[in-house]
Every structure is written in structure tokens, then in C-alpha cells.
Amino acid sequence: NRQIILKNYITGLPKESDLEFISSTLTLNLEELKQSKAGEDVVVVVKNLYLSCDPYMRGRMRDYHKSYIAPFTLGSVIQGFGVAKVILSNHPDFREGDLVSGITGWEEYSIIPKGSNLTKIKYTDVPLSYFVGVLGMPGFTAYAGFFDVCSPKKGEHVFVSAASGAVGQLVGQFAKSMGCYVVGSAGNKQKIDLLKHKLGFDDAFNYKEEHDLDVALKRYFPDGIDIYFDNVGGDMLDAVLGNMKVHGRIAVCGMIAQSGVQSEQGIKNLYQLVPKRISMKGFLQSDYLHLYSKFLESTINFIKEGKLVYIEDIAEGLENAPSALVGLFHGKNVGKQVVRICDE
Ligand code: NDP
């Protein structure tokens, strides 16, 4: 069983050398498993097909950092969202051959522990990788974050950072579906072209080419920003705060530009929250699970009707998973970063 294990805990950005690609032996007593009753010991064994690379995984690669999710175990296989095929199960809800999504190991085969919330994939007329992206956690983040946290209204002016990524590309399209004016920022020309010509954004700019983010934002939002969907934090958040409209809303989805350590410099424009009565709310998609079935149904319909464009960046092979994950923090991914381990 080939696996990706955590070699050492990180302090700054993750590096490929923090992870290791190893071969190990997965010992399964098939006879014992087949005979064990539902609810006993091992429940489901899966063959992993797709893995998702997500920025939150950086938090699990640290041991000192207080996060909402526990660190990975040193020397052990790391976990993340994935799509897999059941090869053995004594769980009443899963049968051999079922396609499932949920938390799995970064390895070829995983034994899914009891209590994990695997979900059976019912819609098989879309690519399977969509279940770790547009129809999975990032898609749901965009949906709950935009429609619930941002409380959008038709015609409002929306700004999205990391706009071509897994979450950002969908936020922009959800905002367009509401009749908003939408501008995105991203880190290279290819991404800007996609935003403007494929993903339906009204405009987009490369934040790395701007000397002054305040000037850039004033170019696209001369009358100010109603909604900022923040994926990055840092200098961009600071500049946006100076350009928000009165009663504007900021959904703080993530702060990939910040390492999360306390020594980081503060945001200079934070005071703008007061005179402009801005609402700024951090959120976790997992707090909105009551919206999940509505999200899945409407997003699948959007896809089938050709109303949603979805861009993926698929790395081939488990051995390339560490570089794909590390690449997120350098903007290497164009669209949702996925790793294909094998076909069905
Ligand atoms: P993306 O697909 O957007 O990939 C990350 C992107 O972030 C990179 O491609 C890069 O794009 C950008 N980036 C990387 N480093 C920096 C930096 N230093 N400054 C500015 N931009 C940077 O990732 P996701 O869509 O999966 O995630 C987007 C955000 O949403 C993350 O902050 C993530 O943690 C958060 N998130 C939050 C959830 C929640 O429940 N709150 C759930 C899921 C995600 P570019 O080329 O544009 O710089």
C-alpha cells in the first residue's frame, strides 16, 4: 500500500520534504472481516481514486498551532477529502463497488474507521473528482459563505480574492447568478484570463502586478465594495477595508496569505469597521450542514444546465500529491487542485 506520511511538523509554509512517499503493507484478514458482524471493528475498506488538496491541511501539519482540527500524527499517513470505491464492507450502508466520498487516507487503500462520515455518491453522470470540489467541501463553502454569510442582493458589487481557486471561482459565479457585479483577484495572467473569459467575472486583476492595492481596488470599485469574500487575509484585506461601502459585508473564508502565527503585523484599516458599520464574519462550512442537500441539488442542476463552469487542476499519481499540496501555497494550481490516484 503506497502512502504519503508526515515526516516532520512544519513551522512556516509546507515543503515537499515535510512529506514522504512510502510503501507499506496493508494487512487485512479478509475472512475475518467478511464474517464480522455490522458494527464490529473494521467497517469499510476502500480503494482511493481521487484526493483533494486543501489549504486547511497546512494547519494539520503543525503540532503547536491551536486549530479547529487536530494535527496529523507524525510518521503516519495523512488524511483529507477523497473519492473512493468500496472493496470490502461489513457496514449496512455500504456495499462492495459503491462509490463514496469523505475523509480518507493519502494512500492507495484505506481502512475507514468507525464513525467516519462517508457518503455514498448517487450522481454518477458527472466526473467523480467533482465530489471533492464543486460538489464537495469547497463548493459547499462557496455556497454557504456567499448565500448565507454575505446576504447578497441583486446589483451589489462583490470582490473575491484567490478568485480562480476551488472556492473563489464558484463564489464569483454564484454572485453573477444573483445579478451582482463581480471582480476577482488572482496571481497570474492565465488565471486572470480564465476569470474574465471563462468564469464570467465582470473583471479581474493580477494582485502581484499592482504596486498599490488601494489604487487597484478604486479602479474597479470607484463607489466602493458591498461584499468582500476573503480567501487570503493580509494586505488585500487591509486594502479592501479602506474601500468598503457603508453596511458592507466581509465573509472571512480563509487567510492563506497569513501563516496564523501571532507575531504577524496587524491590519491597519480595521477601524473602518466602525464608521462604515461593516459586518465581518468568519465562518466554517461545517456549521452550515443544514444547507447541504439544497446546495447539492441546486449545484448539480446548475452543472447539468451548463450554467456553471468548473476548472480543475488534476495531478496524476499519488507520488505527485505532495508537490500538488505544496503548490497551493505558491499559487501553482489553476482551479481546484485534485490528485488522481487511479481510475475506477
Ligand atoms: P485555492 O484553490 O484558491 O488555492 C489556493 C490559492 O490561494 C492559490 O492558488 C493562490 O492563488 C492563493 N494564494 C496562495 N498563497 C497566497 C498568498 N500568500 N497571498 C495571496 N494568495 C495566495 O484554495 P481553496 O479555494 O480551496 O481555498 C481558498 C480559501 O478558502 C483558503 O483560505 C482556505 O483555507 C479557505 N477555505 C475555508 C473554508 C471554511 O470553511 N471557512 C473551507 C474551504 C476553504 P493566486 O494565484 O490567486 O495567488
Find the 162 Cα to ligand 1 centroid distance in Å.
6
CATH homologous superfamily, domain 137-286: NAD(P)-binding Rossmann-like Domain (3.40.50.720)
Question: How far, in Å, CA of 260 to CA of 241, rounded?
Answer: 19
What is the predicted pLDDT for the residue at 115?
77
Q: Which strands, in side-by-side order, build the sheet including 279-282?
A: 203-206, 181-186, 157-160, 225-230, 244-252, 279-282
Q: Is there an atom of ligand 1 within 6 Å of 259 CB?
A: no
Q: Is there an atom of ligand 1 within 6 Å of 324 CB?
A: no
Mean pLDDT confidence for 109-130 = 90
Minimal-distance CA residue to ligand 1 atom 34? 254
> ipTM beyond 0.90?
yes
Q: Write down the domain spans for the chain.
A: 2-132+311-340, 137-286
| Neighbouring C-alpha atoms within 13 Å toward the C-beta of 213 | 19
The model's pTM: 0.95
What is the predicted pLDDT for the residue at 31?
66
pLDDT at 264 over 70: no
What is the predicted pLDDT for the residue at 76?
95
Looking from the CA of residue 252, the nearest atom of ligand 1 is: 41
* 2-132+311-340, CATH topology level: Quinone Oxidoreductase; Chain A, domain 1 (3.90.180)
**Mutation test residue for ligand 1: of 256, 288, 332, the one with most atoms within 8 Å of CB:** 256
Same fold, 2-132+311-340 and 137-286: no
Looking from the CA of residue 283, the nearest atom of ligand 1 is: 41
Nearest alpha carbon to residue 203 among 232, 230, 226, 183? 183
What is the predicted pLDDT for the residue at 40?
58
What is the predicted pLDDT for the residue at 338?
98
Q: Is there an atom of ligand 1 within 6 Å of 9 CB?
A: no
- DSSP string covering 67-89, please? -SSPPPPTTSB-EEEEEEEEEEE
Looking from the CA of residue 163, the nearest atom of ligand 1 is: 47
Residues 121-171 pLDDT 10s: 998 889 999 999 999 999 999 999 999 999 999 999 999 999 999 999 999
What is the predicted pLDDT for the residue at 41?
63
